[in-house]
Amino acid sequence: MKMTLVAIVTAVAALSFNAYAEEMNMGGDSMQSMNMNRTMKEVTGAKAEGSIKAIDQEKHMVTIAHGAIPAIQWPAMTMGFTATPEQVMGLHTGDKVAFTFSTVGSTAKIESIDKMK
């Protein structure tokens, strides 16, 4: 009985780890295998909506989980954007926002951001 229970727990743990690893690898595709040309070209005025996950006033960064952005062929993801203190004033973790941003290389910068109602 004890051996059967240990075998079941081990099997469940192994399957859970595989599912988690597959989820973190986005179905087998790692971030390194993504078409990085999408993030390397300069983008201006891209529009998106998302939810604020974190605001770091010292680093002037706001982390946003945004939906897919078809105009620049980006999938939904959570990422950091540089922002001025004035841009994030009055915003809080969990707020739903609509924003525009630009990118240069791998740096994304908020151009405008508004709390959604």
Mean pLDDT per 10-residue run, the chain (117 residues)? 59 48 41 44 92 96 96 94 96 97 92 94
Nearest-angstrom CA–CA distance, 117 and 111: 20
pLDDT, residue 8, reads: 60
In whole angstroms, how large is the CA radius of gyration of the chain? Answer: 19
Nearest-angstrom CA–CA distance, 52 and 49: 10
